[in-house]
Amino acid sequence: MASKAQDPGSGHRGGLVDSLKVLAATLLAIAHTRLELLSTELEEQRVWLSSMLVWALGGLFCAGLGLVLATLFVVLALWDTHRLLALGIPAILFLLGAVLAWRVVLAKARAKPPLFTASLAELSKDHKELTSRS
Protein backbone atom coordinates (compact mmCIF):
# COMPACT_ATOMS: atom_id res chain seq x y z
CA MET A 1 0.00 0.00 0.00
CA ALA A 2 2.92 2.27 0.59
CA SER A 3 3.89 2.02 -3.07
CA LYS A 4 0.36 3.00 -4.14
CA ALA A 5 0.54 6.11 -1.98
CA GLN A 6 3.83 7.08 -3.62
CA ASP A 7 2.61 6.44 -7.17
CA PRO A 8 -0.07 9.15 -7.12
CA GLY A 9 2.45 11.57 -5.61
CA SER A 10 5.09 10.74 -8.18
CA GLY A 11 2.47 10.87 -10.94
CA HIS A 12 1.39 14.28 -9.66
CA ARG A 13 4.98 15.51 -9.76
CA GLY A 14 5.41 14.10 -13.26
CA GLY A 15 2.17 15.82 -14.26
CA LEU A 16 3.37 19.13 -12.84
CA VAL A 17 6.75 18.84 -14.55
CA ASP A 18 5.07 17.85 -17.78
CA SER A 19 2.67 20.79 -17.47
CA LEU A 20 5.58 23.15 -16.87
CA LYS A 21 7.37 21.74 -19.91
CA VAL A 22 4.28 22.22 -22.04
CA LEU A 23 3.86 25.75 -20.69
CA ALA A 24 7.51 26.56 -21.41
CA ALA A 25 7.21 25.13 -24.92
CA THR A 26 4.04 27.15 -25.52
CA LEU A 27 5.65 30.37 -24.27
CA LEU A 28 8.69 29.70 -26.43
CA ALA A 29 6.49 29.09 -29.46
CA ILE A 30 4.60 32.34 -28.79
CA ALA A 31 7.87 34.25 -28.46
CA HIS A 32 9.19 32.66 -31.65
CA THR A 33 6.05 33.61 -33.57
CA ARG A 34 6.20 37.18 -32.29
CA LEU A 35 9.86 37.50 -33.24
CA GLU A 36 9.08 36.20 -36.73
CA LEU A 37 6.31 38.79 -37.03
CA LEU A 38 8.67 41.50 -35.84
CA SER A 39 11.28 40.39 -38.36
CA THR A 40 8.70 40.45 -41.15
CA GLU A 41 7.61 43.95 -40.19
CA LEU A 42 11.21 45.16 -40.14
CA GLU A 43 11.76 43.72 -43.61
CA GLU A 44 8.56 45.34 -44.91
CA GLN A 45 9.66 48.69 -43.51
CA ARG A 46 13.10 48.33 -45.10
CA VAL A 47 11.63 47.48 -48.51
CA TRP A 48 9.12 50.33 -48.25
CA LEU A 49 11.80 52.82 -47.27
CA SER A 50 14.13 51.69 -50.06
CA SER A 51 11.36 51.98 -52.61
CA MET A 52 10.36 55.42 -51.40
CA LEU A 53 13.96 56.59 -51.47
CA VAL A 54 14.59 55.37 -55.01
CA TRP A 55 11.39 56.90 -56.37
CA ALA A 56 11.91 60.15 -54.47
CA LEU A 57 15.48 60.55 -55.70
CA GLY A 58 14.48 59.72 -59.27
CA GLY A 59 11.61 62.18 -59.13
CA LEU A 60 13.77 64.89 -57.59
CA PHE A 61 16.44 64.43 -60.24
CA CYS A 62 13.93 64.66 -63.11
CA ALA A 63 12.09 67.60 -61.56
CA GLY A 64 15.32 69.45 -60.83
CA LEU A 65 16.68 68.95 -64.32
CA GLY A 66 13.36 70.01 -65.84
CA LEU A 67 13.21 73.14 -63.71
CA VAL A 68 16.78 74.11 -64.54
CA LEU A 69 16.13 73.70 -68.26
CA ALA A 70 12.81 75.57 -68.05
CA THR A 71 14.46 78.41 -66.13
CA LEU A 72 17.29 78.55 -68.61
CA PHE A 73 14.74 78.74 -71.42
CA VAL A 74 12.87 81.62 -69.73
CA VAL A 75 16.09 83.50 -68.94
CA LEU A 76 17.38 83.17 -72.50
CA ALA A 77 14.02 84.15 -73.97
CA LEU A 78 13.75 87.30 -71.83
CA TRP A 79 17.45 88.19 -71.52
CA ASP A 80 17.35 91.24 -73.75
CA THR A 81 14.24 92.82 -72.22
CA HIS A 82 13.66 91.72 -68.62
CA ARG A 83 16.80 90.19 -67.12
CA LEU A 84 15.95 90.66 -63.43
CA LEU A 85 12.38 89.50 -63.89
CA ALA A 86 13.57 86.42 -65.81
CA LEU A 87 15.83 85.43 -62.90
CA GLY A 88 13.65 86.63 -59.98
CA ILE A 89 10.39 84.90 -60.81
CA PRO A 90 11.90 81.39 -61.17
CA ALA A 91 13.91 81.93 -57.98
CA ILE A 92 10.74 82.81 -56.07
CA LEU A 93 8.89 79.85 -57.58
CA PHE A 94 11.72 77.48 -56.61
CA LEU A 95 11.70 78.75 -53.04
CA LEU A 96 7.91 78.37 -52.82
CA GLY A 97 8.21 74.84 -54.21
CA ALA A 98 10.84 74.00 -51.60
CA VAL A 99 8.60 75.29 -48.78
CA LEU A 100 5.65 73.31 -50.13
CA ALA A 101 7.72 70.13 -50.43
CA TRP A 102 9.05 70.56 -46.89
CA ARG A 103 5.52 70.95 -45.51
CA VAL A 104 4.34 67.84 -47.36
CA VAL A 105 7.29 65.82 -46.01
CA LEU A 106 6.53 66.95 -42.45
CA ALA A 107 2.83 66.07 -42.83
CA LYS A 108 3.65 62.62 -44.18
CA ALA A 109 6.19 61.99 -41.42
CA ARG A 110 3.58 62.85 -38.78
CA ALA A 111 0.88 60.71 -40.44
CA LYS A 112 2.92 57.51 -40.71
CA PRO A 113 1.76 54.83 -38.29
CA PRO A 114 4.23 53.75 -35.61
CA LEU A 115 6.52 50.79 -36.19
CA PHE A 116 5.58 47.30 -35.09
CA THR A 117 1.83 47.90 -34.79
CA ALA A 118 1.00 44.29 -35.67
CA SER A 119 3.55 42.92 -33.21
CA LEU A 120 2.34 45.20 -30.45
CA ALA A 121 -1.27 44.24 -31.14
CA GLU A 122 -0.43 40.53 -30.95
CA LEU A 123 1.53 41.00 -27.74
CA SER A 124 -1.40 42.92 -26.28
CA LYS A 125 -3.75 40.04 -27.19
CA ASP A 126 -1.34 37.58 -25.60
CA HIS A 127 -1.15 39.69 -22.45
CA LYS A 128 -4.95 39.91 -22.20
CA GLU A 129 -5.27 36.16 -22.77
CA LEU A 130 -2.72 35.32 -20.10
CA THR A 131 -4.16 37.75 -17.54
CA SER A 132 -7.72 36.55 -18.13
CA ARG A 133 -6.70 32.97 -17.38
CA SER A 134 -4.95 33.88 -14.11
Domain that holds residue 119: 2-133
d(CA 83, CA 77): 10
Which residues lie below 8 Å from residue 89, measured CB to CB, with a gap of 6+? 74
If one counts the domains in the chain, the total is: 1
CA–CA distance from 90 to each of 42, 67, 97, 118 (Å)? Answer: 42, 9, 10, 46
d(CA 5, CA 33): 42
pLDDT tens digit sequence for 8-46: 554 455 688 888 888 888 888 888 888 888 888 888 888
pLDDT tens digit sequence for 72-101: 888 888 888 988 888 888 888 888 988 998
CA–CA distance from 126 to each of 22, 81, 108, 110, 130 (Å)? Answer: 17, 74, 32, 29, 6
